[in-house]
């Protein structure tokens, strides 16, 4: 499958829909608006952070299993990013380092490829696409989509969280080696509102898919 990665507000969900339509495949989405834990986490991250990460882990594994039908299916968030997000929460004292260690070990065990049959689930993507946006762009998109629990005016501590998250993503992508990868510059290409930009993005991705020999 093809998985998208990037910070909050990078446009992953929109690109997943557009790209799946372009490729004639299916898109599978992160559980956000229907996530019962996420609002609780923003109210009390120390209490609900570990529960939230395990909720996301379960949902992401469901997405990976559901996406097995085609190498061109698109998932709108990579499971490989979750440890980055949780580690940041611990470093900001929104979770504990012990919780991060336990979660990291659980993630590692669950991602191990155990192949006992022809129906084994392949957990490593064929391609990871990182949508890179600046801190300013991220803040603007968070503001525009209007989820109350994400807004800085409702929780000023989120400013530092978002800023640190942006900086850590660059290092994460540089070090990512689980699969082929591609960076899309989200500040340069407004693929949601500009069809010309969207077609340029499609051309870049199509060339990478062709280079890698990915077929549905």
CATH of the domain at 72: 3.40.50.300
Q: Out of 76, 118, 160, 190, which one is annotated catalytic?
A: 76
- The string of pLDDT tens digits covering residues 97-124 is 999 999 999 999 888 865 545 566 788 8
* pLDDT computed for residue 12 by the predictor: 92
pLDDT digits (tens, 9 = 90+) for 4-58: 999 988 999 999 999 999 999 999 998 777 889 988 998 898 999 999 999 999 9
How many domains does one find in the chain? Answer: 1
Q: Which pLDDT value is given to residue 115?
A: 56
Q: Is 69 annotated as a binding residue?
A: no
Domain that residue 176 falls in = 2-212
65 has binding-site annotation: no
- CA 146, distance to chain mean position in Å, is 19
From the list 189, 142, 144, 192, the residue with the least C-alpha distance to 166 is 142
| 168 annotated to bind ligand | no
In the chain, the percentage of residues whose pLDDT exceeds 70 is 96
Active site residue 76: yes
pLDDT at 71 over 90: yes
């Amino acid at each position: 499958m093809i998985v998208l990665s990037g910070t909050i507000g990078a446009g992953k969900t929109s690109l997943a829909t557009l790209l799946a339509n372009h490729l004639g495949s299916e898109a599978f989405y992160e559980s956000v608006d229907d996530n019962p834990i996420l609002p609780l986490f923003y109210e009390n991250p120390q209490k609900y952070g570990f529960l939230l990460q395990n909720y996301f882990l379960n949902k992401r594994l469901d997405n990976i299993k559901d996406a097995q039908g085609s190498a061109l299916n698109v998932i709108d968030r990579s499971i490989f990013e979750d440890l980055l997000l949780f580690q940041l929460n611990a470093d900001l004292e929104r979770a504990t380092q012990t919780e991060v260690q336990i979660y990291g070990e659980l993630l590692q065990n669950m991602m191990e490829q155990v192949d006992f049959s022809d129906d084994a689930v392949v957990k490593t993507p064929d391609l990871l696409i990182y949508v890179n946006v600046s801190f300013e762009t991220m803040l603007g998109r968070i503001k525009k989509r209007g989820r109350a629990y994400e807004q800085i005016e409702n929780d000023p501590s989120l400013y530092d969280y978002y800023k640190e998250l942006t900086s850590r993503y660059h290092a994460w992508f540089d070090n990512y080696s689980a699969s082929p990868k591609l960076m899309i510059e989200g500040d340069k290409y407004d693929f949601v509102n500009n069809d010309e930009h969207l077609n340029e993005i499609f051309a870049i991705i199509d060339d990478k898919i062709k280079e890698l020999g990915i077929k549905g």
